[in-house]
Amino acid sequence: MSKKSWRYALAGALAGLANGFFGGGGGSVLVPLLTRMCGLDQRRAFATSVAVILPLCVLSAGIYLFRGGLDWAAALPYLAGGLFGAEAGLRSAAALRRREVLFMTEWLTAFLAGAVTGVLSGFGVGGGTLLLVYMTAFAGLDQRLAQGINLLYFLPAGLMALPSHWKNGFMEKAALLPAIGAGLACAAAAAWAATGLEVELLRKCFGGFLMVIGAMELFSFPRRNSTKHPPNTG
């Protein structure tokens, strides 16, 4: 592989570790690496991030489900918010009446949280991290359950954003294979490790991860001479 392909692979691997272990935050890692380490402009980094993170979430969510770290009933309102937005509220009302385990206020709050963070997820960064904070700090979900829900939540949001990014030619196709390949291996290992870890320790690790991401954004500056790429037409 070329030097740039190795950089894409490293970026994908680090995003996979974050996404698998914390159930989110892969985009918050990947986008800065694509811009600062790989030289992509911000728009292409966002679009490429969606394409890379999507398969990582599929694999990680499957592992969380297999290992008992995912609750479909708790995930449903977040998925509805991320996928359908306000229009899905009407459809969700019928499902709400069938689910005795969920109260209306909890369901609607979760739906709104999913809708708001779905906007950021469509760009390729930030939405999942914010949703994780909401679910653990405000909705009272334990860390592992919140991470499993967050992985599942990104799938519809990412699938809706992906065709638009591809059609507009903002995706860096050369980055996809190395970043996804390395990311899948790291995401699988990280997700397996996270689902076997004590919830309280996992929560502390996530807090440390947030501090690292915050420090990266606070003390780093965007590249002024990033290479500009013409839109892909193929």
pLDDT digits 0-9 by tens, 189-206: 999 999 999 999 999 999
Mean pLDDT of 102-130: 54
Q: Using CA of residue 19, residue 152, residue 154, residue 138, what is the dihedral sign?
A: negative
**pLDDT reported for residue 175:** 96
**pLDDT reported for residue 97:** 41
Q: Which of 19, 79, 28 is nearest to 55 (CA)?
A: 19
218: tokens are: 């606070």
pTM value surpassing 0.85: no
DSSP state of 85: G
Q: What is the mean pLDDT of the chain?
A: 78
Q: Which of 133, 143, 129, 148 is nearest to 199 (CA)?
A: 143
Helix-strand-coil split of the chain, %, nearest 5:
80, 0, 20
Express each pLDDT in 175-194 by its tens digit.
999 999 999 999 999 999 99
Alpha-carbon distances, residue 105 vs 71, 72, 77, 79, 102 (angstroms): 19, 18, 11, 16, 9
Place of tokens 């977040």: 78
Mean pLDDT of 50-55: 92
Select the more confidently predicted residue: 42 or 128.
Answer: 42
Express each pLDDT in 2-12 by its tens digit.
999 999 999 99
Secondary structure (DSSP) of 150-194: HHHHHHHHHHHHHHHHHHTT---HHHHHHHHHHHHHHHHHHHHHH
Most distant pair of Cα atoms in the chain: their distance: 56
Q: Which of 98-112, 131-145, 164-178 has the lowest mean pLDDT?
A: 98-112
Mean pLDDT of 77-95: 52
pLDDT band, very low/low/confident/very high, at 114 (cuts 50, 70, 90): low
**pLDDT reported for residue 50:** 86
Residue type for 96, please?
A: L
Sequence spans of domains, the chain: 3-219
